[in-house]
Amino acid sequence: MAIEDAAADLEAEFGGPGPEDLANGAAALAAGLLAQAQCLATTAAALESSDTGHNGAIEAAAARASLALSMAQVVSEAPSPARAGLIAAAAQALDVSISGALTQLRAAALALPTDDAAARIAAAQIAQEIAASLGVA
């Protein structure tokens, strides 16, 4: 039996994340991105209200917060094949690198607000699929 056959047998027996798991994973990933956006927006507001004058840091935090909001919307609403392109477009519009956007996405996948193991696996799979579509391993 070839390795590919064994892997196919395992997947058929145990399966990967099913449609409901993928939907839950996308919802959990979107929730993680929303939490990230809130934290970054709070950071930007705190920097803005301080007298230190870190305009670059304020702009960076605000851009990252906006990107997290955009990615949450994309993950929760866009069909899978369109997600990578929409995230790349949002990152470019906000002057955030693709690797920076993927770091945010992966960080959200690691900090999910759920104890649903299947949703966690699905969220990690969604993040990896987006990264692979953007040519980043």
Structural domain boundaries in the chain: 18-133
Nearest to 107 by CA among 79, 74, 68: 68
Please check the confidence at residue 55 and state whether its pLDDT lies above 80: yes
User: What's the token pair of residue 88?
Assistant: 């790349």
DSSP secondary structure string, 27-59?
HHHHHHHHHHHHHHHHHHHHHHHSTT--HHHHH
Alpha-carbon distances of 36 from 6, 41, 88, 90, 91, rounded to whole Å: 40, 9, 18, 16, 15
What local confidence, expressed as pLDDT, does residue 8 receive? Answer: 53
Residue bearing the bigger pLDDT, 50 or 132: 132
What is residue 136's three-state secondary structure? coil
Per-residue pLDDT at 1: 46
More confident residue, 5 or 89: 89
Position 3 scores a pLDDT of: 58
pLDDT of residue 84 exceeding 80: yes
Find out whether 108 and 29 touch, Cβ atoms under 8 Å. yes
Higher pLDDT, 22 or 53: 22
Higher pLDDT, residue 1 or 111: 111
